[in-house]
Amino acid sequence: MRDQLILLPGWGLGSAPLEPLCDALREQAPHLAVHIEPLPADGDAATWLDSLDDEVPRDAWLAGWSLGGMLAAELAARRGESCRGLITCAANASFRQRDDWAYAMPNTVFEDFFEAFLLEPELTLKRFTLLVSQGARDARTLARQLQVAMPAPQVEALSAGLQLLGSLDTRGALSRYPGPQLHLFAGNDALVPARAAEALLEWLPDVEVSVIEGASHGLPLERPDEVAAAILQFIHEGDDV
């Protein structure tokens, strides 16, 4: 049976932003079975991790972008040694600032965004694509790609996803998970400060952390070949252990 890599998408934009990364992984590693697992469509945030645990195969490598990376971390900690390894991409340990985690989105900014989404979901999602692409080499084209592929908003599920994004603090999960970890950050990320990479390495000095310079939060769509190469090198090293 081939090794499996499961990719979890980020908030609000569906699975399309991960398709270029998925294609790059399959091209560079035909032996690897790569699958994008959509985030739950249920509006009950409390059940999301259980739903993913039911759907995602055991004994797979878990990877995720942004919110998907945070959920992958929680799922990896839950599964322990039955998870081959954990990879996160542009995912902060805490998306919003905490007293002991400064390199994250200010709470007032997050709360204003949440309120704007509830009032005008479609307009707020469009603005979100601009934030995701901000800092890219060609931000306008990247934002257009995100907007064209964006699914119709399911407000209840997206609201649940925002609740999770604001509440999750994955530091406990990351410290509990016994397997190998790779955390990729983007140097020009407008949503997850690049300094979060240093903070994570101070928190967990034994994990692998890398910053892809000149890249935006839309890292998997903007720089799929580089991200795929980093992931596959990490998997190869894990298989050699």
| Catalytic residue set | 66, 189, 217
Query: Per the structure block, which two tokens stand in for 90?
Result: 């542009």
- What is d(CA 102, CA 215) in angstroms, rounded to the nearest whole number? 21
For residue 7, what is the enclosing H or E element? Answer: strand 4-8
∠ at Cα 238 (234, 239), nearest 5°? Answer: 120
Answer for the pair 91, 69: CB distance below 8 angstroms, yes or no. yes
Query: Per the structure block, which two tokens stand in for 45?
Result: 């945030």
Residue 85 pairs in a beta bridge with: 61
- What is d(CA 55, CA 51) in angstroms, rounded to the nearest whole number? 6
SS3 149: helix
- What is d(CA 173, CA 163) in angstroms, rounded to the nearest whole number? 18
Q: Could you give the angle at which helices 155-167 and 107-119 cross, rounded to 10 degrees?
A: 170
What is the CB-side half-sphere exposure of residue 146 using CA atoms within 13 A?
29
Which ranges constitute the DSSP H helices of the chain? 19-28, 48-55, 67-79, 107-119, 121-133, 139-149, 155-167, 171-176, 195-203, 219-222, 224-240
